[in-house]
Amino acid sequence: MPKILYCATVDYHFSAFHLPYMKWFKEQGWEVHVAAAGKTTLPFTDRKFNITIQRSPFKTDNLRAYRELKAIIQENDYQIIHCHTPLGGVLARLAAREARKRGTKVLYTAHGFHFCKGSSSVNWAVYYPIERFLSRYTDCLITINDEDYLLATNHKFNAGEIKQIHGVGVDTERFKPAGLKGKEELRNMYGYDPEAFLMFYAAEFNKNKNQQHLLKMLAMIKDELPEARLLLAGEGSSLEECKQLADRLGVSGMVDFLGLRKDIDRLLPMCDVSVASSFREGLPVNVMEAMASGLPVAAIDNRGHKELIQPNKNGFLTDKDNVELFANKILLLAKNKELRNNLGTNGRTLIKSKYSVHRVLEEKAQLYTKFMSSREASQWEAR
C-alpha cells in the first residue's frame, strides 16, 4: 500500500486545515502518516509520530526532530511527503534528501513566506536564502497567494515546479449566513442585544495579529457608535497587554475577550462585520470563514487580505498606520445595512466559487495525482 507522510510543527495544524485532503488519500487506498509535535488524535491517520519539533529555529530540540524525521522516512519508504509550516518545511526537506534519490516526491506548501513586500530587511536576510536553498530539495512548491507565487517564480526558486492553490479551503455548508431569524436566535443564545453592532476577529494574540489597532479604532468610534461591540477570539502572548490597553482607552466594556473557541461557525453569523488587523498573512482562514458566513470585511492591507478583499465589492482595505480611516469604514458599515448585506453576499459568492473545500480539493487532487504514479515512471533527478 502506498504511503504519504504529512509533516508540520504542531499536529493541530492538520486537524484545523487538512483533514479533507487526508480523507481523500484514504479513499484512494493510501496509508496516511503524520509527523508533528503534539498528542492530538487525528482521523484518517494510520500512524502518528509525536516528534520534538519546535517553532523557534534556535531550539536544540529541532536537531533531535531532524534525526527523528530522518529515521521515520528511512523506515517507511514514503511515495509522497507533504510538509507544511516553516520549521516543518525546513526539517522535512532536509531529512528527505536521501529518500528523494530513491524516488520519494517532496511537496512543500508555503502558507505565507516570511519575506514579502514591505517586510523587514532582517526577514529577507534570514528567510529568503533558506527558502531559496531548500527549493532544490522540493519537487513541488505550493503557494497560496499571487504575491508568493510571483516571488518564487521571479526569484527563480529551484523547485521541480511551482504551483498556486487557493489555500486550504472553507466548508461553506458549516460557515454560512444564519438569516434574520437565525441571527436573532444566536444573539439571544449568546446574550447579545439585537441592536448591538458586532465586530468579530479570531486570531492568536501576538505582535503580528495586531489587535491593538482594533482597540484604538474602537476608542475612536465609541461616542458615535455606543452600541458597538468588538468580539476577540483567541489566546496568546499579547492578550493581557490588550486587556490593559482596552482599560486605558476606556473601551473595556465594549470588548469581549472570548478565549479559544470551537464555535466560530455560530459566532460569525450573528455578527455584522468581520475585522482583521494583522500585518502579515498568507491566505487567512479567519477572513475566508467570515466571508463564507456572509460578512463584509474591514481589514489592514496586506498580501493575504488583498487576495480576498476587493474594496467596495466585499469589504475595505486600509493602511496599517491609518486607524482613523479604519474607524471611518466601520462607521460607514454600521450606518448602512444595505451596504453590509451587498458586500457580504459578494464575499460569500467569491468564497464558494474559488475557496470552498470542494474547489480546493479538486485543485489538490489534480496536483497529487501527478505524484501518485509509480516512481519508475516519474522519477526526477534528485537535487
For residue 283, the tally of other CB atoms under 10 A from its CB is: 23
Task: Report CA 116 to chain centroid distance, whole Å.
Answer: 16
Specify the CATH number for the domain of residue 17.
3.40.50.2000
User: Does residue 174 lie in a domain region?
Assistant: no
Q: What is the pLDDT of residues 216-258, one digit of tens each?
A: 999 999 999 999 999 999 999 999 999 999 999 999 999 999 9
- CA contacts within 13 A on the Cβ side of 212: 15
Residue pair 313/301 in contact by the 8 Å Cβ criterion:
no
Residues in the chain where the model's pLDDT stays below 50:
374, 376-383
Same domain, yes or no: 226 and 112: no
CA atoms of 263 and 270, how far apart (whole Å) = 12
User: Does residue 383 lie in a domain region?
Assistant: no
Same domain, yes or no: 321 and 185: yes
pLDDT at 112: 81
Same domain, yes or no: 74 and 161: yes
Same domain, yes or no: 114 and 245: no
Q: Work out the angle between the directed axes of helices 121-134 and 86-95 (0-180°, nearest 10).
A: 30
pLDDT at 68: 97
Q: How far is CA 209 from CA 276, 298, 376, in A?
A: 8, 14, 46
Same domain, yes or no: 240 and 336: yes
Same domain, yes or no: 268 and 240: yes
Residue pair 333/365 in contact by the 8 Å Cβ criterion:
no
Q: Which of 217, 383, 208, 197 is nearest to 286 (CA)?
A: 208
Same domain, yes or no: 213 and 328: yes
Same domain, yes or no: 147 and 246: no
Q: What is the pLDDT of residues 67-102, one digit of tens each?
A: 999 999 999 999 999 999 989 999 999 999 999 999
User: Does residue 363 lie in a domain region?
Assistant: yes
User: Can you read off the three cell numbers belonging to residue 158?
Assistant: 529551484
Largest Cα separation within the chain, whole Å, is 69
Same domain, yes or no: 186 and 56: no
pLDDT at 376: 44
Q: How far is CA 263 from CA 10, 198, 287, 289, in A?
A: 21, 16, 15, 12
Total number of domains in the chain: 2
Same domain, yes or no: 220 and 334: yes
Task: Report CA 120 to chain centroid distance, whole Å.
Answer: 21
Same domain, yes or no: 124 and 198: no
**Global confidence as pTM:** 0.91
Residues pairing with 375 in the sheet: none
Same domain, yes or no: 212 and 262: yes
- Structural domain of 106: 3-169+357-378
Residues pairing with 202 in the sheet: 233
